[in-house]
Structures are given as structure tokens and as C-alpha cells.
Amino acid sequence: MARDLIEISEAAGVRYLHFASSWVQGAMRIRSPNALELSYTREMMAGLLLRESPWPREALLIGLGAGSQAKFLYHQLPATKITVVEIDPQVEIVARLHFNLPDDPRRLRVLIDDGAEHMLAGSSRYDCILVDGFDKNARAGVLDTLPFYQACRSRLSDSGLLAVNLLGRERGFQASAERIDAAFDGRALVFPSCDSGNTVALAAAGDRVDLGFDELIARAHQCRKDTGLNLLPTIARLQIARRSEGDRLHL
């Protein structure tokens, strides 16, 4: 799904990426170019609380956008190798010219390819898969199908986690969540919708997640110390979305 028109705007010190509409596809605070500006991009990093460091060793991103998550992983998790699959070569050019995407193919590879075809045809395994791909009309297409989510599960390592950006206020959102749940045999949860309407779904493969919320809080403090990313608000939202017994999170 190639983009018809890519637009850049700026307001209050933040640069935004749009695909031929006012809908924001990515953002960068100019004074903090490597931080995660949008709340849903921070929430998609919840796996940093659920798996022990160093994690992830291998990360796959479907959809580049402004490159926010790729930049965060690159700068804050130096042991992580990152592969990004982006269908539109113009998006990569814009991310490099306007959003400070690093040029280091040893650690950060950008593949111009169809994300669904890449998942269905390949065999490489990843500890973390982040899916954030939409066309200009906010449609995910094949990236929101049961076979695609099943392919994601098959490509995850024993410590693998999948995070998907869903547009929670759009028609069909519940069906999307159910497809993810089915692909992962119920090992999935959905966060409450953000103010922007974005909703993050999280799913686990391989090793079970069984953590007390006190341990999650300790990990969030360490994550903030190590990377500057504050995931304490995410813990409160995990408690709302949780699959838990008592004070423990199970996934």
C-alpha cells in the first residue's frame, strides 16, 4: 500500500508525520529526538517490563513511520539488533531526512518489502515484534488477519512478545483483538484506549509471564533509570487489562 502523499508539520516543538491526512503517523520532539513522544509508542514497549534484561536481542518492526521505536531501541538498547520492514521507500527517506533515523545497517536494517509477505515467507525468529502499519485511510489490511498474527507467533522466540497498534475507536476493533487472542491461544491482552484512539494489544509466545506487580514496579524504575522511558503509567493500565490472579500478572 504505497502512500499518495507524505506530509510533515510542526507545532509546539514537535514534528509530525502524516500520510495525506491530519491523522498522525509519527512524531518527534525536536529537542528530544530519540524519545518516544506518542503515548501508544511507549505502551508498545511494555515487554521491557515482562522479560528480563537484556531483552530483546532481535527486534522486528512492521511499519517504520517516523522511526520513533526504531530510534529508541537503537539508542537505548545497544545490544538489540533491529529489522524494520516498510512497504514505501519514501517513508524511509523522510525518516532519515526529517526524523533522525540512524544510518547503521549493522544494527538497524530497513527492508523495503510488504510486511505481511515478509512474515508469511520468512523463517527468522525475533524476541520482539512490533506491528504499526496502516495506509492513509487508517486501514491495516492483511496486517490485521488471523494468518498474519499466526505467522507472527511462529516467528517469535521462546521469550517472544508481540505488540500491535490497533485503532481502538475504529469499527472492527473488537474483531482485531479476538484474532490476536485466537492466534496466541488466549495469551493476549488489550490495554485501555489512549486519548488518541490508539490501543495496544500485547501477546506472548513461549515462556510464560508470571510477575508480581511489585516486581513490575521495580523493573519500571530500573527501565526509567537505564533508558529514560517511564513505564510506571503502563503498569496501572496493565492492571486494568490484566490477566491476573491476586497481585500477579499472568500471560
Is residue 251 in a domain? no
Q: What is the pLDDT of residue 174?
A: 86
Q: What is the pTM of this model?
A: 0.92
Q: What is the number of structural domains in the chain?
A: 1
Instruction: Find the domain containing 160 and state its range.
Output: 6-228
User: Facing residues of 86 across strands?
Assistant: 112
Is residue 81 in a domain? yes
Is residue 239 in a domain? no
Is residue 250 in a domain? no
Q: pLDDT digits over 83-130, tens only?
A: 999 999 999 999 999 999 999 999 999 999 999 999 988 889 999 999
Q: What is the pLDDT of residue 137?
A: 55
Is residue 235 in a domain? no
**Which residue ranges of the chain lie beneath pLDDT 50?**
1-3
Is residue 138 in a domain? yes
Q: What is the pLDDT of residue 3?
A: 45
- What CATH code is carried by the domain that includes residue 38? 3.40.50.150
Q: Which residue's C-alpha cell is 488518541?
A: 196
Is residue 219 in a domain? yes
Is residue 249 in a domain? no
Cα–Cα dist 117/128, whole Å: 18
> CB within 8 A of 57, min separation 6: which ones?
79, 80, 81, 127
Question: How many angstroms from the chain centroid is the CA of residue 127?
Answer: 13
